[in-house]
Structure 1
Amino acid sequence: MTNFKGKIAAHTITWGQEHVKALEEVSMLGYRGIEPWASFALQYEENPEQLKEILADYGLVMTALYGGASGGQNQSFGSLTDRDNIIDYNVRLAKVIAKCGADILVLGPGGIRNHPTTLEELKIAAVTINEVAKRTYELGVKACIHPHLWTELQDEGELEVVMSMADSEVVFFAPDSAHLLGAGMDPAVIIRQYQDRIAYVHLKDLTSKDATRADFPMLAEHEQLPFFCELGRGSVDFSSIIETLKEICYTGWVTLEVDESTNTPYHSMEICRDFIEEQLKISVKG
């Protein structure tokens, strides 16, 4: 359909803990790549090849797992006391990822954001991230920094500090369109800025905080207006993001994500699929 060289996948977060249903419906929708919940993948920690076979039965391959500081309640990269637990957890995930034939670990920041992250906390975070990335890279898995709203790594200044301190040989970048825009950044600009380190991408849409139903006439009467929404229903400029990914010759996975459906997970990811194929002219089947 287009000269876009990336590959489109779906995230199973929309289905919550209905893991098998997620596999079934993602496959039915025509997606070929999937990012499952880390908790689901770890159920196969002793036999990850079985998980790979289950995915293959649905015509799917794993794209990545979401780890980072998300493996424990209120953990954070910027806390020295959390370092060992974070490293151990991410190494466990990396072993599953590698055995499933994938190579991406998304480093989700941790903690509940009560204040802007201090420089000292960012320095601690960078050391922890470097150690995680070094260990996972030895397993053939790229650890990718992933800024996220309401966490210790949210704002552009925080991203700049951590990226500058992170080892560019082993620490990569996984931008999320909605989280970047929500924090006041232009996703296309950020992608271009860190183009040499981008190894994975989340595409997510975002409504404005003061949006009303009148701003979204396509919503059905029973649907509630979310903060994160299906692709094409919010304020993210996906055309500029795709054009930028084409410019930098990105060939990796682009995973479509809707945190919570306003109707059914199937319908939400169908809307995302149709937007990608009809508006951006990219086939989810590759």
Structure 2
Amino acid sequence: MTIRISCHLITWGEDLLKGLAEASGLGYRACETFTHIALQYENNVAAFKELLQQHNLVLSALYGGGRFSDKSKRQEVIDYNTRVARFLQACGSDRIVFGPGGPRPEGGMTPDLLKTAAETINEAAKRCFDLGVKACVHPHLWTEIQDEHEVDAIMELTDPDYVFFCPDPAHLAKAGMDPVEVMRRYKDRIAYLHLKDVTLDDGDADSVSVSSGTEALPIFCELGLGTVNLPGIVDLLKEINYDGWMTVEIDQSTSTPLNSLTICRDYVEQKLGIPIRGQ
């Protein structure tokens, strides 16, 4: 069993070329990037693939999704995710992250909204699956799928043959869940993973930042600097023989993207025991 490590280029913002170069230089051999950046190459996939190859990288996934609970947007959501899945297929990648839309409805999601969301997810995921791409639902703070009962409802109402799970332990923890427990519950449907850390000392799911000592940190911090039980996550993945991608992700650096992803790389290799360089 080998967990494969990918690096999200979100930390470099819109600078794709610098992100590719520095991530590759750190030893990462796969990446996820902003979908709107990747789709700039939609009519020249060969150029995008060549760019990845120049940096010894492959594309692990792209972020799709949409406003699942708005029935009037259903066809738009299906068409967009099919478009992204077609690009992924052309790039040799077989995972799409289904990110739910925001903002959250006032008072959270009702049973009717969750039912509508599940129906849209099912239809969009089936279209992706037909293209050889697995759609992985990603619960996310501040969106229509944030809290535990919303995660449970979506997983219960969607088709396990087409709809998979992309947990992010930091998002789950910040929303008040035990990430290991939730991941164990849906272990048979985990097909992609974002690996993030977060400090939980201050604020709640409505916070935009937290404080650590005298330094203000983004809500999500470098791996090992927060309070998420990352070793427990990896232990579970090993237990279930997970051999897919685990994408290291830090939204914003307080220093430089290179420094932040170096800290993350060293943590994964030294503390979690998963090689990145040479994988």
Same fold (TM over 0.5): yes
Residue aligning to 2:212: 213
Q: Is the 8 A contact 2:64 2:81 kept in 1?
A: yes
- The answer to whether the 8 A contact 2:3-2:274 is kept is no
- Provide TM-score, normalisation by structure 1: 0.92
User: What is the count of residue pairs matched by the alignment?
Assistant: 270
Q: Is 1:232 matched with 2:224?
A: yes
Answer 1 or 2: which has greater strand percent.
Answer: 2
| 2:139 is equivalent to residue 147 of structure 1 | yes
| Cα shift at 1:213 | 3.2
Q: Supply the distance in 1 between the matched residues of 2:96 and 2:75 (Cα, whole angstroms).
A: 17
Selected match of 2:73 from 74, 82, 86: 82
CA distance in 2, matches of 1:188, 1:49: 39
Would the aligned equivalents of 2:195 and 2:247 in 1 still touch at CA under 8 Å?
yes
Instruction: Choose the corresponding residue for 1:41, options 38, 51, 60.
Output: 38
Percent sequence identity is 51
Q: Which amino acid aligns with 2:113?
A: E
Who is 1:105 aligned against? Answer: 96
Say which of 236, 248, 259 aligns to 1:256: 248
d(CA) in 2 for partners of 1:20 and 1:275?
25
Decide whether the 8 Å contact of 1:137 with 1:143 is kept in 2: yes
Counterpart Cα distance in 1 of 2:190 and 2:211? 34
CA distance in 1, matches of 2:32, 2:107: 31
Deviations along 1:159-191, one digit per CA (max 9) or x if unpaired, are 111111101111100000100101111111111
| 2:29–2:57 contact (8 Å) kept in structure 1 | yes
CA distance in 2, matches of 1:63, 1:79: 29
Matched ranges for 1:1-286 at <5 A: 5-69=2-66, 76-113=67-104, 114-210=106-202, 212-214=211-213, 224-285=216-277, 286=279
Runs of 4+ in 1 over 4 A off after TM superposition: none
Once residues 129 and 61 of structure 1 are traced to their aligned partners in structure 2, the CA distance between those partners, rounded to angstroms, is 26
TM-score for both structures, normalised by structure 2 = 0.94
Note the residue ranges of structure 1 that are not aligned, 5 or more in a row: 70-75, 215-220
**What is the deviation of 1:83?**
0.6
CA-to-aligned-CA distance 1:188-223 (integer Å, 9 cap, x gap): 111111111110000000012526433xxxxxx8x5
Cα deviation, residue 235, structure 1: 0.6
Structure 2 regions of 5+ residues with no counterpart? 203-209
8 A contact 2:195–2:249 mirrored in 1: yes
